């Protein structure tokens, strides 16, 4: 096998477009030149307001041929050019958990049938052992063997999301794509599921691409955070960096929207208005119409992605050294001589 790098998943320069509007005559770019790397066993959080392209990106990972351009590599293998058996293996190793477990679980299958179905499909383990394997997984996610006999409608929202996680985990995947898995749950249940995901990652060493519109939700969970705005990743860094030294005004405004004022933090940035339509993106920096820190070139110059780290970049608002692996798209962060 040709392994190009050590990442579990690499997304390179991915572009996702839709034909939309009257007679599908308009073209909308939902994901624009996105690159990211997910390491084995890590939790990679993808955060941004509704409409920023998170689901389009997440869903294209398992159907890369629908992308306009770019590539998705799993263990260094390009999923758009993989053999049929290679794709089947990737589908086992990359599982998806959706926002609404009720919609994603079959109402006519008991919980146990829901869990044994993928074991049968991928022929995992001996047929006689599959039921006990499924029950063991139910217990791992905090459910009981008796819950296995129930149907989805008889479970609470939190229990259903546990079943959805168990169904994804039972085939022992390497990566779970969880697209807003908490947004149909109330806050108390959200906290429990977050704890569960954190435990499972440690226990089963599975990586997550965890999609959320709420930056505060991923604080306790993520190893890496990518912030998406109008189809672009505008900031990507180890989670500690994003929360202690957010470099992009959009990230700062998302944090300010949820955090109590902290005198050690840069001045609050208030997020105004709604994101623009990706059908008519603003010129220059696509965030400029909502950015309270914009400078003169922002309405005409498209910010390149730069890697922060001394001596590159000059920190206009943050204090302290900036780590490598902290990438940002903002004209405030041009190198001093650029």
Ligand X SMILES: Nc1ncnc2c1ncn2[C@@H]1O[C@H](COP(=O)(O)OP(=O)(O)O)[C@@H](O)[C@H]1O
| Contacting residues toward ligand X, per CB under 6 A | 18, 20, 28, 30, 48, 50-56, 278
Closest to ligand SF4 by CB, 36 or 330: 330
Does residue 285 touch ligand SF4 according to CB under 6 A? yes
Is position 56 an interface residue for Mg ion (rule: CB under 5 A)?
Answer: no
Shortest Å, Cβ 44 to ligand X: 15
Q: Which is nearer to ligand SF4, 242 or 294 (CB)?
A: 294
SS3 for the chain, per residue? CCCCCCCCEEEEEEEEEEEECHHHCEEEEEEEEEEEEECCCCEEEEECCCCCCHHHHHHHCCCHHHCCEEEEEECCEEHHHCCHHHHHHHHHHEEEECCCHHHHCCCCCCHHHHHHHHHHHCCCCCHHHHHHHHHHHHHHCCCCCHHHHCCHHHCCHHHHHHHHHHHHHCCCCCEEEEECCCCCCCHHHHHHHHHHHHHHHHHHCCEEEEEECCHHHHCCCCCEEEEEECCEEEEEEEHHHHHHCCCCHHHHHHHHHHCCCCCCCCCCCCCCCCCCCCCCCCCCCCCCCCCCCCCHHHHCCCCCCEEEECCECCCCCCCCCCCCCEEECCHHHCCCCC
303 binds, among ligand SF4, Mg ion, ligand X, none (CB under 5 to 8 A by kind): ligand SF4
Q: Give 277 or 283: the residue with its C-beta nearer to ligand SF4.
A: 283
Given the complex with ligand X, which of 47 and 285 has the nearer CB atom?
A: 47
Whose CA is closest to 58, among 222, 198, 209, 200? Answer: 209
The pair of structure tokens assigned to 220 is 């306790």
Phi, psi of 229 (to 5 degrees): -145, 125
Q: How far is the CB of 52 from ligand SF4 (least distance, A)?
A: 14
> Between residues 140 and 184, which has the closer beta carbon with respect to Mg ion?
184
Q: Which 132-191 positions form the footprint of ligand SF4 (CB under 6 A)? A: none
Q: Which is nearer to ligand X, 48 or 303 (CB)?
A: 48
Judged by CB under 6 A, does residue 275 bind ligand SF4? no
Among the candidate windows 105-113, 129-137, 184-192, 328-336, which touches ligand SF4 by CB under 6 A?
328-336
Name the residue nearer to ligand X (CB basis): 98 or 333. 98
Residue 298 touches ligand SF4, criterion: CB under 6 A: yes
Among 70, 249, 266, 278, binds ligand SF4 (CB under 6 A): 249
Nearest to 315 by CA among 337, 292, 335, 301: 335
**Is residue 331 part of the contact set for ligand SF4 (CB under 6 A)?**
yes
CB–CB of 280/297 below 8 Å? no
298 interacts with, out of ligand SF4, Mg ion, ligand X, none, CB within 5 to 8 A per kind: ligand SF4
- The least distance separating ligand SF4 from the CB of residue 231, rounded to whole angstroms, comes to 15
Asked if 55 is part of the footprint of Mg ion (rule: CB under 5 A), the reply reads yes
Q: Which stretch binds Mg ion (CB under 5 A): 55-63, 137-145, 235-243, 327-335?
A: 55-63
Residues at the contact surface with ligand SF4, assessed by CB under 6 A: 248-249, 285, 287-288, 291, 293-295, 298, 303, 330-332
């Amino acid at each position: 096998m040709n392994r190009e790098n050590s990442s579990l998943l690499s997304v390179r320069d991915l572009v996702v477009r839709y034909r939309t509007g009257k007679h599908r005559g308009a073209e909308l770019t939902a994901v624009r030149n996105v690159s990211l790397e997910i390491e084995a066993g890590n939790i990679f959080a993808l955060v941004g307001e509704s409409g920023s392209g998170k689901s389009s990106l997440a869903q294209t990972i398992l159907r890369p041929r629908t992308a306009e351009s770019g590539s998705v590599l799993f263990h260094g293998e390009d999923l758009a050019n993989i053999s049929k058996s290679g794709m089947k293996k990737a589908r086992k190793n990359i599982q998806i958990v959706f926002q609404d477990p009720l919609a994603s679980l079959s109402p006519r299958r008991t919980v146990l049938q829901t869990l044994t179905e993928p074991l049968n499909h991928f022929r995992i383990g001996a047929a006689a052992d599959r039921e006990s394997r499924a029950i063991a997984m139910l217990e791992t996610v905090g459910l009981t063997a008796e819950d296995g006999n129930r149907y989805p409608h008889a479970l609470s929202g939190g229990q259903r999301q546990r079943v959805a996680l168990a169904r994804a985990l039972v085939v022992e995947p390497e990566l779970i794509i969880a697209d807003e898995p908490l947004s149909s749950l109330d806050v108390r249940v959200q906290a429990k599921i977050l704890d569960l995901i954190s435990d499972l990652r440690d226990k089963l060493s599975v990586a997550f691409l965890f999609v959320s519109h709420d930056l505060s939700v991923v604080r306790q969970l993520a190893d890496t955070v990518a912030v998406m705005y109008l189809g672009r990743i505008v900031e990507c860094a180890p989670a500690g960096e994003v929360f202690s030294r957010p470099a992009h005004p959009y990230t700062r405004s998302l944090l300010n929207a949820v955090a109590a004022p902290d005198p050690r933090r840069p001045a609050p940035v208030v997020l105004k208005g709604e994101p623009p339509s990706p059908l008519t993106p603003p010129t220059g920096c696509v965030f400029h119409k909502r950015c309270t820190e914009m400078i003169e070139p922002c309405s005409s110059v498209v910010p390149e992605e730069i890697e922060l780290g001394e001596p590159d970049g000059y920190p206009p608002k943050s204090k302290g050294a900036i780590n490598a692996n902290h990438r940002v798209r903002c004209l405030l962060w041009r190198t001093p001589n650029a």
